[in-house]
A and B are shown apart, each in its own frame.
Chain A
Amino acid sequence: MGSYKPPAIAKAILWLILNNRHPETMIGDFEEIYNEMARNKGTFPAKIWYWFQIILTFPSFLKNSIYWGATMFANYFKIALRFIKKHKVFSFINISGLAISTACCLFIALWIFDEMSFDKFHADSDQIYQALGNGRIASTPMPLAAALEETFPEVIYASRLEGIGRPLFRREDKVFSESGVVVVDPDFFKIFSFPFLEGDPHTVLDDIYSIVISEQVANKFFPGENPVGKTLTMNDELDFVVRGVMQNIPQNSTLQFNIALHFDIRIAYFTPSGADTNSWGWWSPSTFLKLQKDVSLAAFNQKITEFFQSKFEKGNDDETLAALPFTARRFFFWNTQQFIMIYSVIAIFIVFMSCINFINLSTARSAKRACEIGIRKVSGAVRKNLIFQFLGESFLLTITAVAIALLIVSSLLPVFNSLTGKQIATGSLSQPSILLIIVGLVLFTAIASGSYPALILSSFKPVQVLKGRLNLGSSGSLFRKILVVIQFSISIVLIIGAGVIYKQLNYIKTKDIGYAKDQLITISLKGESRKSYDILKNRLNSDNRILGVTGMADDLPNFWSTSSTAEWEGKDMTKEIHVGFNFVDYDVAKTLGIELVEGRDFSREFMADAESGYLVNEELVKLMGFESVVGRPFKEFGKAGNIIGVFKNTHFRPLTNQINPLYFQLNPGRINHLVIRVPTENMQTTIQFIKETWEGIIPMYPFEFRFVDDDFNLAYTNIERMSRLANVFTLIAIFIACLGLFGLASFTAEQRSKEIGIRKVLGASMLGIVVLLSKEFTRWVLIANVIGWPLAYLVMNRWLQNFAYRAHIRIEIFILSGLSALVIALIAVSYQTIKAAMANPVDSLRYE
Chain B
Amino acid sequence: MKYLSRPEELVLLTIWKMKDEPYGVNIRKYITKMTGKYWSIGSIYVPLDRLENKGFLTSYLANPTSERGGKSKRYYELTKEGLEQLQEIKKIYHAFWKDLPDLSSKET
B24 touches A26 (CB 8 A): yes
A3 touches B41 (CB 8 A): no
Complex interface: chain B residues within 8 A of A415 (CB): none
Using a CB-CB cutoff of 8 Å, which residues 28-49 of chain B contact chain A?
Answer: 28, 40-42, 45, 49
B68 touches A53 (CB 8 A): no
B74 touches A25 (CB 8 A): yes
**Assuming A24-B72, A25-B74, is B65 touching A32 (CB within 8 A)?**
yes
Q: Which of B49, B61, B66, B69: most chain A Cβ within 10 A?
A: B69
A21 touches B69 (CB 8 A): no
> Which of A6, A20, A31 makes the CB contact (< 8 A) with B45?
A20
**Assuming A3-B67, A4-B67, A20-B49, is B41 touching A28 (CB within 8 A)?**
no
Complex interface: chain A residues within 8 A of B65 (CB): 32
B52 touches A28 (CB 8 A): no
Chain A: which residue is nearest B75 at the CB level?
Answer: A25
A35 touches B67 (CB 8 A): yes
Chain A: which residue is nearest B53 at the CB level?
Answer: A21
Docked Cα-Cα span, A11 to B25, in Å, equals 18
Interface residues on A, range: 20 to 34
Using a CB-CB cutoff of 8 Å, which residues 47-78 of chain B contact chain A?
Answer: 49, 52, 59, 61, 64-69, 71-74
What is the CB-to-nearest-CB distance from A134 to chain B, in angstroms, rounded to a whole number? Answer: 79
Docked Cα-Cα span, A33 to B44, in Å, equals 14
B40 touches A28 (CB 8 A): no
B72 touches A33 (CB 8 A): no
Chain B: which residue is nearest A25 at the CB level?
Answer: B74
Complex interface: chain B residues within 8 A of A57 (CB): 42
Query: Is residue A22 within 8 Å, beta carbon to beta carbon, of the partner chain?
Result: yes
Q: Mark A671-693, 1 if CB is under 8 A from B, else 0.
A: 00000000000000000000000
A31 touches B67 (CB 8 A): yes
Docked Cα-Cα span, A340 to B52, in Å, equals 68
**Assuming A20-B45, A33-B41, is B69 touching A27 (CB within 8 A)?**
yes
Query: Is residue A331 within 8 Å, beta carbon to beta carbon, of the partner chain?
Result: no
A31 touches B69 (CB 8 A): yes
What is the CB-to-nearest-CB distance from B50 to chain A, in angstroms, rounded to a whole number? Answer: 10
Query: Is residue A200 within 8 Å, beta carbon to beta carbon, of the partner chain?
Result: no
A3 touches B40 (CB 8 A): no
B40 touches A32 (CB 8 A): no
B67 touches A24 (CB 8 A): no
A28 touches B69 (CB 8 A): yes
**Assuming A32-B25, A33-B25, is B73 touching A25 (CB within 8 A)?**
yes
Query: Is residue A5 within 8 Å, beta carbon to beta carbon, of the partner chain?
Result: yes
A26 touches B67 (CB 8 A): no
Complex interface: chain B residues within 8 A of A3 (CB): 66-67, 69
**Assuming A26-B41, A29-B25, is B68 touching A21 (CB within 8 A)?**
no
Complex interface: chain B residues within 8 A of A478 (CB): none
What is the CB-to-nearest-CB distance from A692 to chain B, in angstroms, rounded to a whole number? Answer: 103
Query: Is residue A9 within 8 Å, beta carbon to beta carbon, of the partner chain?
Result: no
Complex interface: chain A residues within 8 A of B23 (CB): 25, 29
**Assuming A20-B49, A29-B24, A32-B25, is B69 touching A53 (CB within 8 A)?**
no
B41 touches A32 (CB 8 A): no
Q: Which of A22, A30, A53: most chain B Cβ within 10 A?
A: A22
Docked Cα-Cα span, A29 to B64, in Å, equals 11
Docked Cα-Cα span, A27 to B41, in Å, equals 10
Docked Cα-Cα span, A57 to B52, in Å, equals 22
Chain B: which residue is nearest A31 at the CB level?
Answer: B69
What is the CB-to-nearest-CB distance from B28 to chain A, in angstroms, rounded to a whole number? Answer: 8
A56 touches B67 (CB 8 A): no
Query: Is residue A1 within 8 Å, beta carbon to beta carbon, of the partner chain?
Result: yes
Chain A: which residue is nearest B24 at the CB level?
Answer: A29
A–B pairs, 12, beta carbons within 8 Å: A20-B45, A22-B45, A25-B61, A26-B41, A26-B45, A29-B23, A29-B25, A29-B41, A31-B71, A32-B25, A33-B41, A35-B67
4 new A-B contacts at CB < 8 Å, known A22-B74, A28-B68, A30-B41: A6-B69, A22-B59, A26-B24, A29-B28
Closest 8 CB pairs of A and B: A28-B71, A35-B67, A29-B24, A28-B68, A25-B74, A31-B69, A3-B66, A3-B67
